[in-house]
Amino acid sequence: MKLAIFAATGGIGRQALEQALAAGHEVTAVARNSRNVRPDVRVVQSDLAAPDPAVLESAVRGVDAVLSGLGARSASEAGVAWQGTRAIVQAMKAANVRRIVVVSAAPIGTVPSPARPKPPKHDPGDGFFMRHLLSPLIRVALPKHYADLARMEDVLRESGLDWTIVRPPRLTDTPVTGRYRTAYGQNLPGGAFISRADVAHLMLRVLRDSETLQRIIGIAH
């Protein structure tokens, strides 16, 4: 396939890039700093906090699918996930590209957003510890990041595109295994961790599965 990978310099984005190349896909990497991408890959440079629509359109024109691991690296950068994803969606529409897979986060099902001001109080996959201790704690620790990702999910739901949102719990840097649990529309019971490599593995895997269109997928080891 021809793929455009946004945030190809991030933890998950880098994994997606390496795995996509290893699988024989033709990849355009989109990065805020092109020097941070390996030299044998076509790179388009774009700061998604202030993107040039024509540059984004040139990055996605002719691809079969877009993958994105975009996320704020600090609280002060929060907002980049939803605004950058909105710009990616606009570029995809201009270039007639329909398929996009992005990374959100496990707690987002319970985070309010403009389009979902009253989300469920609990994710059906979360057990007692996650519902009452960990999830509230994380949401208090990272309110701007999570508001950003919740709004990014709104952008995709309203896009009319063929989207898939992957919601991982705590990310680790262990190697790819391809062995993990997934569930549609909810988190995984007892699933506190997943590697960035296996999130990237799932992002590539869903491209072959039309059941995953317009679906949110929980993942965990």
Per-residue DSSP letter, 113? B
For residue 10, what are the CA distances in angstroms to 17, 40, 147, 202?
Answer: 10, 18, 20, 16
Cα gap 204→20, rounded to integer Å: 7
The answer to whether 57 contacts ligand NAP (rule: CB under 6 A) is no
Choose which of 4, 11, 78, 92 interacts with ligand NAP (CB under 6 A): 11
Closest separation in Å from C-beta 115 to ligand NAP: 19
Pick the closer one to ligand NAP by CB: 10 or 109: 10
Pick the closer one to ligand NAP by CB: 107 or 161: 107
Interacting span for ligand NAP (CB under 6 A) from 57-65, 111-119, 129-137, 167-175: 167-175
The answer to whether 1 contacts ligand NAP (rule: CB under 6 A) is no
Give me the residue whose beta carbon is nearest to ligand NAP: 71
The answer to whether 47 contacts ligand NAP (rule: CB under 6 A) is yes
Q: Which residues, 6 or more positions from 159, have their beta carbon under 8 angstroms from its beta carbon?
A: 89, 93, 100
DSSP-based helix, strand, coil % in the chain, nearest 5: 40, 20, 35
According to CB under 6 A, which residues from 101 to 160 bind ligand NAP?
Answer: 103, 105, 145, 149
Cα gap 37→73, rounded to integer Å: 17
The answer to whether 37 contacts ligand NAP (rule: CB under 6 A) is no
Cα gap 100→162, rounded to integer Å: 6
Choose which of 3, 43, 66, 168 interacts with ligand NAP (CB under 6 A): 168
Interacting span for ligand NAP (CB under 6 A) from 9-17, 21-29, 92-100, 183-191: 9-17
H-state helical runs in the chain: 11-22, 53-60, 80-94, 128-129, 135-141, 143-157, 196-205
Cα gap 219→104, rounded to integer Å: 11
Size of the site for ligand NAP (CB under 6 A): 26
Token digits for 157? 């739901």
Q: CA 198, 202, 205: angle at the middle one, nearest 5?
A: 135
According to CB under 6 A, which residues from 60 to 99 bind ligand NAP?
Answer: 69-71, 73, 77, 80-81
Choose which of 170, 174, 177, 209 interacts with ligand NAP (CB under 6 A): 170
Choose which of 4, 5, 29, 48 interacts with ligand NAP (CB under 6 A): 48
The DSSP element (H or E) to which 104 belongs, if any, is: none
Contacting residues toward ligand NAP, per CB under 6 A: 7, 9-13, 32-33, 47-49, 69-71, 73, 77, 80-81, 103, 105, 145, 149, 168, 170-171, 196
